[in-house]
Amino acid sequence: MDLNNETFLVTFSSDQDYLHALTGGPREILDHYLVVHPWSPNFRESDKTHRSVTEWVQLPELPVHFYHREVLFALGNLIGRTVKLDYHTENLERGKFARIVIELDMTKPLLTRIRLDGF
């Protein structure tokens, strides 16, 4: 549904499709960045200020003993609101970095580093 101001409401037939649309980005259409947000009752199409954005975040050089679902969700929540873990991260298939989808509050400064007990 076209809501005006270059804003559209999209519904999905499955939760899997919804999660893919929300976390599969970043997306570009004709050199324009497409921002995808979950619906909120407080949404106003006239408000062009994006207060949050959902993005993939990499945690490089993370020691292997931190690669547990609960720990990774807690680390993600230090940055923003953790949405999901990358398949390879969650299944310990790759160890160069952890990948987490996080909803970032764009009204706050972005964290560039997290210090973990000597790491």
Q: What is the pLDDT along the chain (119 residues), one digit of tens a residue?
A: 777 667 778 888 998 888 888 777 667 777 766 777 777 777 776 665 667 778 889 988 888 888 899 999 999 999 999 999 988 888 877 678 899 989 888 788 887 787 877 65
Residue 24 to residue 13: CA distance in whole angstroms: 17
| Predicted model pTM | 0.63
Residue 24 to residue 58: CA distance in whole angstroms: 14
Q: What is the pLDDT of residue 119?
A: 56
CB contact at 8 A, 63 and 49: no
The residues with which 58 forms a beta bridge, in sequence order, are 99
